[in-house]
Amino acid sequence: VTQTAPRNPDWQRLDPRMLAVTPLRQLAGLLPVIAVVLVIGVRQDIGGQLYGLLAGVLVVLAGVLRWLTTRYRITKERVELRSGLLFRTTRSVPRDRIRSVDVTAGPVHRLFGLSVVKIGTGERTDGAESRELTLDAVSAAEADRMRQRLLNRLGAGNPDHSGVPVEPTATELAALNWSWLRFAPLTVSSLVAVGAVAGAFGQLIGEVSDVADLGGVRERLSAAPLWLGVSAFAVLVLVIALVGSVLIFVEAWWGFRLVRELGGTLRTHRGLLTIRSVSLEERRLRGVEVIEPPLLRIGRGARATAVATGLGGGRGALLPPAPRGEAHRVTGAVLTEDPSPTRTTLRRHPLVALRRRLVRAVLPVLVGSAVLWLAPVPAWAAWATLGLLPVTVLLALDAYRNLGHALTSRYLVTRHGAGVRDTVALQRSGVIGWTVSQSFFQRRAGLVTVTATTAAGGGAYSVIDVGHAEGLAVAEQTVPGLLGPFLQYDVGGATNTLSSRL
């Protein structure tokens, strides 16, 4: 399918069908504007039409130019991408640095059988220079071939120029269960839906109200009793949230599968309109995270994500919102550990940590209430502020209950969160440094926060408010010999180094 550049047989062009896709997608982006123009009607003058035509020609020309000037090649050692006419850029990624290959196909791309390939390296991005190559777009078959070739290190030795896609044997780790649809309204997507509809509605009202008052609707609305209006509005919002979140869930997770492919690659595949496939090299996996946001937690649901180098921006999702047990099972399956380290019984942190949380929950409310008491506002405002106390205290109790850590043979497990509960299992061999921090109040309470730094995911995972000595000991046990040389062990005034003691 791909055409070769005349000068060098290795260099390939993007798929020529892109020439049609780019203008169409631009057009799709302009759809709301076009709709508004059609509804409201704009004075048709020759100038406007000319500009429209010119813009259309420019879009097509830009697409052609991009296609003409963009070439890529995959050699034994590197993937290279050349693009630009005036500013020629050559991006080059060593193949052994490739951590992930994402294949995405939006509706327009799918119409033409195309896919966008994103090749990610785990490198830190300082400033604008992103270490990611995007090929927009190649044929779906080529994308699949590329994905397998780039991530399958076993096959990297023999040159795979035959073009015959080798279907690797894959084990399924998880697949969509439609009963999980019940978690959809418990995610932020329900808020997103309400926001989107409200935004669109607001715009519509703004445009329509100038044209006509639709059959006296406004008059009838203002005549209705207030409680009716409010409850009707509440029901409407609820329905939009429900339907919207379900739609978003279906679009995002349709046909979801998580598989382990031969050669050590984890791959998720999902999407109804836009198909997204994320492939991740297993040896780049540094751990897993089970997150339970407040609403999902009430519904006994959770999310599971991978902690991996070169995998940011929410691409690490291992599961749709799913039952908590399933989330733990899948993280275990991904790490090939049974039971999952995220299920480990955690050690509680000292009770002083609870005191700290209670102080933080109570003090600001009391201060706020006192300020309102002195301020020239009605007295009930001060009392009402005190009404927040039960909420903040409950959150503080929850925050303390969620604190914990444990060390398994291969993982450091830590948990924290108020309302939301966040459990991380981090590979001990993936820890590349420690930060021990102690605030004034922590010092007085004999607590520290011990943070493991890692190249993966968020870059740092903390054991928060752990006992001073225990936190240091855990750090040293996690990666023996890293923190140890800087630890001291005092016995009745005498000082020993740690290594003689542990």
Of 156-164, 166-174, 414-422, 476-484, the window that binds other proteins (rule: CB under 8 A) is 476-484
**251 exposure class (CB count in 10 Å sphere: 0-12, 13-18, 19+):** middle
What are the CA-CA distances from residue 435 to residues 111, 441, 453, 476, 483 (Å)? Answer: 50, 18, 7, 12, 10
The letter for the amino acid at 461 is Y
439 sits near other proteins (criterion: CB under 8 A): yes
Largest CA distance in the chain: 94
Region class of 61: left (phi > 0), else alpha (psi between -120 and 50), else beta: alpha
CB of 458 to other proteins, least distance (A): 7
Cβ within 8 Å of residue 362, ≥6 positions away: 389, 392, 393, 396
Tell whether residue 151 is a contact of other proteins (CB under 8 A).
Answer: no
- Of the pair 162, 495, the CB lying nearest other proteins is at 495
Give me the least distance between CB of 150 and other proteins, in Å please.
17
CA of residue 51 relative to chain centroid, distance: 40
Looking at beta carbons only, is 98 or 143 nearer to other proteins? 98
Contact yes or no for 273/107 (Cβ under 8 A): yes
Q: Which amino acid belongs to residue 327?
A: A
Matching residue, tokens 């006994």: 300
**Can you tell me which of 307, 454, 464, 465 binds other proteins, judged by CB under 8 A?**
454
Among 4, 171, 435, 499, binds other proteins (CB under 8 A): 435
d(CA 250, CA 60) in angstroms, rounded, equals 34
Minimum CB distance to other proteins smaller for 86 or for 375: 375
Binding flag, residue 469, other proteins (CB under 8 A):
yes
Helix-helix angle 226-253:189-211, to 10 degrees: 120
The binder of other proteins chosen from 148, 331, 385, 451 (CB under 8 A):
451
Q: List the interface residues with other proteins, window 309-338 (CB under 8 A).
A: 309
Residues in the chain: 502
Of 97, 118, 131, 401, which one interacts with other proteins (CB under 8 A)?
97
* 436 near other proteins, judged by CB under 8 A: yes
Q: Rounded to whole angstroms, how far apart are CA atoms 342 and 349?
A: 17
Closest distance of CB 481 from other proteins, Å:
8
What DSSP assignment string belongs to 346-382?
PBPPPHHHHHHHHHHHHHHHHHHHHHHHHTTS-HHHH
Query: Does the footprint of other proteins cover residue 406 (CB under 8 A)?
Result: no
CA dihedral 92, 97, 99, 103 (to 10 degrees): 20
| Binding region for other proteins (CB under 8 A) out of 1-9, 269-277, 406-414, 450-458 | 450-458
163 counts as binding other proteins under rule CB under 8 A: no
Contact between 472 and other proteins by CB under 8 A: the answer reads: yes
Question: Which residue stretch of 142-150, 215-223, 417-425, 449-457 sits at the interface with other proteins (rule: CB under 8 A)?
Answer: 449-457
Under the binding rule (CB under 8 A), the answer on residue 482 touching other proteins is yes
Nearest residue (CB) to other proteins, 265 versus 451: 451
- Which one among 191, 208, 366, 460 touches other proteins, defined by CB under 8 A? 460
| Contacting range for other proteins; rule: CB under 8 A; set: 169-177, 257-265, 287-295, 436-444 | 436-444
Burial 13-28 (b: 16+ CB within 10 A, else e): bbbebbbebbbbbbee
Contacts with other proteins, 110-139, as mask; x by CB under 8 A: ------------x-x---------------
Compute the least distance from the CB of residue 95 to other proteins, in Å.
13
Contacting residue, 443, 444, 480, 499, with other proteins by CB under 8 A: 443
Binding site for other proteins (CB under 8 A): 97, 122, 124, 284, 309, 432-440, 443, 451, 453-456, 458-460, 468-470, 472-473, 481-483, 485-491, 498, 501
